[in-house]
Structure formats: structure tokens, C-alpha cells
Structure 1
Amino acid sequence: MQKKNIVLTKPFSIENESDSDVSYRAPNLLRRLLSLLKNVRRGSDLTRFQLPPQFNFPKSQLQCYGESIYSISSNLLSRCNNGHSPLDRLISVVAWSISTTRPPIFGVAPYNPTLGETHHVSKGNLNVLLEQVSHHPPVSALHATDEKENIEIIWFHYPVPKFNGTNVEAEVHGKRQLKVLNHGETYEMNSPNLFIRILPIPGVDWVGNVNIRCLETGLMAELCFKTQSFLGLSGNQRLIKGKIIDSSSSKILFEVNGHWDSTVTIKDMKNAESRVIYDAKEAISGLQAPIVKDEQNVWPTESTLIWSELSQAIMSQDWEKATEAKKFVEEKQRDLLRERESKRETWVPKHFTLCQNKEGCWECLPIQKLVPNSPITTL
């Protein structure tokens, strides 16, 4: 059998900024980025904006989403199930939600997933499956199940990046659900926005409000992700603040404070005692790339197959080859689109249903109850 060319790279981890591969960084970064954006109008939607490969790192956006679920050193998901009380479990869900926030790299971005592209990885009993269910808008859907812990995650979203003159902010639409089935609890939450500051001092961060609510207990958390000041000089980088509330009484039970890339604590409002609920160094450092255990059963739609030639070219800094490889993938997608249009066919996702609700927002639901084991695994 012909060997498949599968390229897997290390996930983002908390030490990412100090040890990231130099091949992830474009030469003359700020000057080249400004030249790309010089003809883009303020307030423009950048959803269809295409980056040359010098501004990509060797990974699809689907892989980045998946890594935030399966690439973790600690057992935060298990704690969501094993908490003795609804409040204990909500606090664990807050910590897990923060753990999905990974340090981005300024000036480089993942590939825009192709329509129908998938990413499928297993970690122990946790099986994670993602599919790009729409291209315009770019909707990504995730389904993860852990039969041992009896946990299910459904996560779909679509970013809408806009250029604001000195920065780009990608507002992330969509919803996450974490279902702790042993306790009959469903936790709903949204995602922070990605903020890319170009001037005066380049940087990238997560910003905005995240609300986490348990539909059955009425317990909720309100979190605010804050970036540094406009000049980039503030010491309070990657700050997170918030509170945990009993919505039935509007009583504040805990205050949340810290930095999502270091430690986050909660303070009990009854006795003023504080404790750490999340340690980024413990949770998302020392992460390793997944490995392929069964090459022949890797789906042809797998991200690591679709983009393998481009990823290899970027890692070897062969920009001519990278340009050709990216063009090949994009042209193939255009050919498939023209073929569907000529046959008047509508593309349908394989693993999810996709629809718009009454408010015009996109929603996704998994077709299968359980995600199968993957031939790609991680520790």
C-alpha cells in the first residue's frame, strides 16, 4: 500500500513564545503585514482574506481547535465529572474553559480549513472529531465524547475578523456545550475574541466576555479576558477577572482573578479564602504532537493529509514549494465547487447537521452519538 504523507506538529503550549519554531515566523514580519493590509478598508470583514504561506504556520485551524480539547497535561475534564456538588463541578468547568485558551503567535495564522476537512484524534478514552461544515461563513464543528467519564462536548463557531486600522479583532460566534451526563448537567459557554494589535506595538491576545451557565442548576460564571494597554506597556497582560453567581438569587459566590497563561484563583465571598483553580504551566506545558497508530485508516479528509505538502514546505522554509502547495489545495477546492454548481448539488456535512436558527445564527449537531476511536492518538 502507498504510504500516506501525514504531517503532525507540536500543539501550542504555555512556553510557546519562547521555544516556537523559527519556521513559524515570517521574515520582515511587521513590514510585510502592513503591506498586506494597506489596501484593506477600516471595518472590512476579513473572512475571505487570503494570506500567502509565509504568514502561515504548519497547521490547519481545525487542528488548533482540536488541540484546545485533547492537548492538555492535566485531568480537568475528569474533575468536571468528579466534583461532589454542582458548585464544585461548575468551578471545574470554569477551569476547563480557561484551559482551552492557548497562546497565539503574532503575525502568523493557521490555514483556513477546506470544506469537508476533518480532524480526528483520540486521547485515552476521549475521542475528538472536527469537521469544516461551511466555507462561507467558515463554520467549524467539534464533537468529543469520553465514555469512561460519560462526558460529551459539542462546540461550533465561526470567527468574523474585522480590520480596525491599527488592529484586527476576530469576533467568535457560536456556542460550546459541555455535558456532564452522570449528573444530568449541561454547561453552555461562548468563546473570547482574538485581538491582533498591529500598531504601535505588535501583539496578539484573547479579549472579551465569556459566560458559562449550567442550564439545570442556575449556577453561572461571568469572565472577562483583558489585554494590555493600547501602547502595549501595561504589566497586566492576559488578565482574567470575573465572578461565580447563583442566578436564582443573584448572589456572588466567588470572585475570579488571575492570568490565563499562569494561574487563576477564586476567592470565597463568605470567608475571603482563596485557592488556585487553574495552573497553565501544569495544564498546557510540555505538550507533544499526536502520533499515527494506524496510517491506512486515516481519513482522506484529515487536515494533516490535506495540508501535508504545504506544512513540510513551511517547516523547511521552501517558500516557492509552499506557494505551489497552497495553490494546489485552493484550486482543487475551486474545481470541486464548480463541479457541484454545474450539477446543481448542495454540499452536505458528513458528521454534523448544519442549520440557521430564527435569529439567523448557525447551529450544528453531531449525527453520531459517540465519536469513534481515531488512528491518530496523543498522550
Structure 2
Amino acid sequence: MTTVIQGKEEGIQVVLTKPLSLERELDDEYRVPNILQRILSLFKNVRPGSDLTRLQLPPLFNFPKSQLQCYGESVYCTASDLLNRCNNGESSLERFASVVAWSISTTRPLIFGVSPFNPILGETHHVSRGNLNILLEQVSHHPPLEPKFHGTSVEAQVHGKRKLKLLNHGETYEMNSPHLLIRILPVPGVVWVGNVTISCPETGLVAELCYISNSFLGFKGNQRLIKGKIFDSSSKILYEVDGHWDKTVTVKDTNNGKVRVIYDAKEAISGLKTPTVKDAMGVWPSESAVVWSESSQGILSKDWEKAREAKKAVEDKQRELSRERESRGETWVPKHFIVTHSKEGGWDSSPIQKWVPPAPIVASV
């Protein structure tokens, strides 16, 4: 694993680590000894069915990356340009199938026993990859996950929906995410499960995907399956979707029976490299790789006391800022996005600027 530490001018330090990818070489790097015993100890006083949203994890259970970074990496850390493929499709159906493939590519293998840092309010992640500029901002204190403890497993439901807009085609694609199942006993493991719906109101096309783990209590079995269908506004099935999200996924044309591969995980999410800092002075203090740099360094060096103190300092500062805002009767306002409440009871966000500027951190093309 490569770690990049640059930009120490004026106290700014950036720590970047290799993204999650198809290879599993990061497992041993981040996993501490006796991880299962430590996890059981962590949950010994937690009742089944409990919401774990406010459970404070020590750095032993973190890897050196923010959840905000993980979301960003699922977009820009690909070995093939899947987003351009979405935009370059000649027909609406071809573009839709490419969007389905891109959505599947954001599903990455995870590491049992560790999770990313929970982003702080106002945290940002700004990265460029070729002509693609990505900017994320944490706009809510509330985590996007709702983890619940079920005795021998933890299930995390990812709330909210993602939107992908192809502006030159006038098409918007809306999709949810699968659930994360962390199995503790009898055999530890992490799998994605549940249903994902992808829809485009402008074309009427819809995909229904199901992430399946067929293993029995974690023993062997055929895992990481994905099955589904793509149909039009009249509910006519156009394609049948089948495969494994960590291998290949195919679509079968129901008209002529032809089968083709729309997603190859080895081609898309293997051999991913650590992003680099091109302009250290241009990195914002709110950048994820800056906010969590001290704690990340502690984790990488397995200096758990340093990691704990650094993480506590970040979280205590956030509590202090929150109390100050409350005392002044102020409401925090995002810097890069406009947040509005939706009719469904949730909220929507839209960027303030039309274009994202090039970033000081770059990912390899």
C-alpha cells in the first residue's frame, strides 16, 4: 500500500491511501490482532435490534479514510472510464445499460472489522481525474447509514438516493444503494445484499437489481451474486441481468437471446493507485485527507493512542463548534451546495457552482 504525505506548509498535512479495490491486499494492513474477539467485546452490552448510529468506535475499528472519501473513490477510482461510456451511448437503452454498469462498479469489496471515519460537518473531498472534477461536501450531521445489531450480525441500511445527470442528453438517473451485511458469527464476513432500483423518468426505463449472498451461515456458497431485469415504461422486460458484482455482469436481450458483458470488475476496479497531491498549497483545510491526517497516521503506524487522541480532538472540536452555533442561534450553511427539503420528507442538494474547478489532488487515469 502506498501512502502519500505532502503539504505540510502552514500546518497542512495530507494523508492519502490506496483506494478499496478488487484486490484484497489491504485486509492484513488494516486488520488488528484478535479482531473478532475485539468486536465481540464491543457488542457485549448491546442488545439485538439496537440502532448503532451513536456507537462510538475506537480507531482500532477504523481504516485511514473518511466515508466521504469512500463515496468519492467509488466515482473516480476506476481503471476504465465508465462515466464517459454512459454519456457516449448512441441510444437511450445503451446509455441506461451503461449507467447500470456504473452503478454496479460503485459496489466495492470491504474489509471485515474496520470502517471509515464518520465525516464531520463541512468536510470536503476535492479530486480530479483527467477531465473529471469531483467535489463532495458533508452537509448533514446525521450519518447516511442506519446500522442495527442482530445478535450475530450488523445490517447497515444506506439511506438516500443518488442522481446521475447526463446534461447533454437531458436524462437523470436515480438509484438507491444495497444494504451492507456484516456477519460476525459463525464465520466473519462482509457482503452487500438487498434490492436496488435505477430509473430514468425521461426515457421510462427502469432496472431492478438484487444483490444476493447464497452462502449458508457464511460457509462457502456462491456469494456476491447480482440478478435483475431492465424494462421499459410498459413493463416489457428488455434485458435480463445476471452475474457477480466482483466478477462479470451480463445482460441477455429478451428479443433475440443474445448475451453480452456490460461490467467486468477486474477491468474496472483492479490495480487502482493512490491519488497524489499536485498542488499542496491548494488543498483546503476541510479536505478529508487533512481533517483525519493525524488519526490516519496513527492507524498506519499502529500507534493507537495517537490515533485515539487525534480522532477525539476532531470530534471534540466539532461539538464545540456546534455548541457555539446553538448559543448564537445560528444554523450551519453548506459552502458548496444548496440543501432543500423534498416533498417526500427528506432533502435534496444541488451544487452552487455550475462547474467543479480542477482539484489539487489528482487520481491516475
TM-score, normalised via structure 2 length:
0.95
Alignment equivalent of 1:289, drawn from 269, 274, 279 = 274
Please tell me whether residue 186 in structure 1 is matched to residue 181 in structure 2. Answer: no
Secondary structure of 1:276 counterpart = strand
Does 1:205 pair with 2:213?
Answer: no
Match of 1:52 among 49, 58, 79: 58
What are the residue-to-residue correspondences of 1:25-104 with 2, within 5 Å?
A: 25-104=31-110
The counterpart of 1:167, out of the listed 142, 153, 158, is 153
Aligned to 1:143: none
- Any conservation in 2 of the 1:23–1:317 contact (CA below 8 Å)? no
Count of residue pairs the alignment pairs up: 356
CA distance in 1, matches of 2:172, 2:192: 25
The separation in 2 between residues aligned to 1:182 and 1:291, in whole angstroms, is 31
The alpha carbon displacement at 1:21 in A equals: 5.4
2:316 counterpart SS class: helix
- Confirm or deny that 1:229 pairs with 2:211: no
| 1:321 equivalent in structure 2 | 306
Q: What does residue 321 of structure 2 align with? A: 336
Q: How does 1:122-141 map to 2 (within 5 A)?
A: 122-135=128-141, 137-138=142-143
1:333 to partner: Cα distance: 1.2
**Letter paired with 1:112:** N
The equivalent residue for 2:5 is none
Q: Residue 288 of structure 2 corresponds to which residue in structure 1?
A: 303
1:234 positional shift:
4.4
Counterparts in 2 of 1:49 and 1:355: CA distance versus 1, 3 Å: farther
Output the amino acid matched with 2:306. Answer: K
Residue 7 (structure 1) aligned with residue 15 (structure 2): yes
CA-to-aligned-CA distance 1:249-270 (integer Å, 9 cap, x gap): 2111111000000000111111
Unmatched 5+ stretches in structure 2: 1-8
Per the TM alignment, residue 356 of structure 1 is displaced from its structure 2 partner at its CA by 3.0
Task: Measure the CA separation in 1 of the matches of 2:238 and 2:291.
Answer: 48
Match of 2:349 among 337, 342, 364: 364
Taking a change above 3 Å as real, the CA distance of residues 221 and 365 of structure 1, as seen in their structure-2 partners, is same
Shift of 1:230: 4.2
Specify the code of the residue in structure 1 equivalent to 2:174. Answer: E
1:248-267 equivalent positions in 2, closer than 5 A = 249-267=234-252
Cα distance in 1 for residues equivalent to 2:254 and 2:162 = 28
**SS, match of residue 11 in structure 1:** coil
Q: Does 1:220 align with 2:228?
A: no
Map Cα deviations across residues 86-145 of structure 1 (whole Å, 9 max, x no partner).
Answer: 11111111111100111111100000111111111010111111111111x22xxxxxxx
Between the aligned partners of 2:351 and 2:55, the Cα distance in structure 1 is 29
Give the match for residue 363 of structure 2.
378
Quick one: distance in 1 between partners of 2:228 and 2:175?
Answer: 14
- Write the deviation string for residues 200-247 of structure 1: whole angstroms up to 9, x where unpaired: 111111111111111111111110011233411242110000001012
C-alpha separation in 2, matches of 1:23 and 1:85: 44
Kept in 2, the 8 Å contact 1:205–1:238? The answer is yes
SS at match of 1:119: strand
Give me the whole-angstrom Cα distance separating, in 2, the residues matched to 1:246 and 1:229: 33
TM-fit CA distance, 1:3: 5.7
Root-mean-square deviation (Å): 1.3
Give the Å deviation of 1:2. Answer: 2.9
Question: Which whole-Å CA distance do the structure 2 matches of 1:274 and 1:282 have between them?
Answer: 19
Task: Summarize deviations over 1:20-52 as a string: whole Å, max 9, x none.
Answer: 153311221111101111111222221111110
For residues 216 and 69 of structure 1, what CA distance do their matches in structure 2 show?
A: 23
1:150 alignment partner in structure 2: none
Structure 2 distance, partners of 1:3, 1:43, is: 44
Aligned to 1:236, the other structure's residue is in SS state coil
Q: Which amino acid aligns with 2:95?
A: R
Query: Which letter maps to 2:346?
Result: C
**1:357 & 1:131 partners in 2: Cα distance?**
19
Query: Could you tell me whether the CA contact under 8 Å between 1:23 and 1:314 is conserved in 2?
Result: no
Q: CA deviation at 1:339?
A: 1.5
Distance 2:48 2:362 in 1: 43
- Paired residue for 2:3? none
Q: Is the contact made by 2:12 and 2:285 (CA closer than 8 Å) also made in structure 1?
A: no
Instruction: Report the AA paired with residue 76 of structure 1.
Output: L
